Amino acid sequence: MTRMLIIGPPGSGKGTQAERISERLGVVAISTGDIFRANVKGETPLGIEAKKYMDAGDFVPDSVTNNMVRDRLSQDDVENGFLLDGYPRTTAQVDFLDQILAEGEQELDVVLQLTADDEVLVARLLGRAKETGRSDDNETVIRHRLDLYHEQTEAVVAKYAERGILTQVDGIGGIDEVTDRVLTAIESAKAV
């Protein structure tokens, strides 16, 4: 059983690697971004609220995100482990996740951080925007999201590093190459 997080700046390949890790380890991947986008597409009340923040490149408020994550982690398919992608993004969310896990007498096994140079990420995300037509991927919004990541999420990374469960992996390279590095890092972290 593995309970883990994948953290990294926008465009670092978190979603792609989360799918591959989920498949290889047999745990469910939970992407807050996918859940938000599904709600936006379905024009649910959550989706309408989330879209305002997403289009501006801002984080969806903790109150909305935390309740969604609590609900998702209470479902049966996470009994054998999970991989959270896109959460927690702030230290307040770390505290909330700690509380959820403590209620279930659980803890995280590993926090995987994908690292990448900002300029490489901007180019990658602009390319993805052309392919997918995502409204939240233009250069101004991308740079704003990267700034937010550095301002807020790096404190999350530091918190997990202090706990000794952070593993960093270079997210630049071919998908298979990054997956190999990720799986090796997870196995090393779990062996400790």
Out of 48-57, 95-104, 113-122, 174-183, which region has the weakest mean confidence (pLDDT)? 48-57
Q: Which residues contact 5 (CB under 8 A, 6 or more apart)?
A: 83, 84, 85, 87, 88, 108, 110, 111, 112, 160
Average pLDDT rounded to a whole number, residues 25-37: 87
pLDDT tens, residue by residue, 91-111: 999 999 999 999 989 999 999
Out of 19-28, 38-47, 131-140, 166-175, which region has the weakest mean confidence (pLDDT)? 131-140
- For residue 59, pLDDT over 80 is answered with no
3 state DSSP class of 111: strand
Annotated active-site residue 134? The verdict is yes
- Which of 20, 72, 89, 124 is an active site residue? 89
Instruction: Please give the domain boundaries of the chain with CATH numbers for all domains.
Output: 2-186 (3.40.50.300)
Pick from 108, 106, 125: nearest CA to 116: 125
- For residue 47, pLDDT over 70 is answered with yes
Annotated active-site residue 89? The verdict is yes
Mean per-residue pLDDT of the chain? 89
173 and 94 Cβ atoms separated by less than 8 Å: no
- Which of 128, 143, 159, 181 is an active site residue? 128
The structure's pTM equals 0.84
Is 14 annotated in a binding site? The answer is yes
pLDDT value at residue 135: 65
Annotated active-site residue 163? The verdict is no
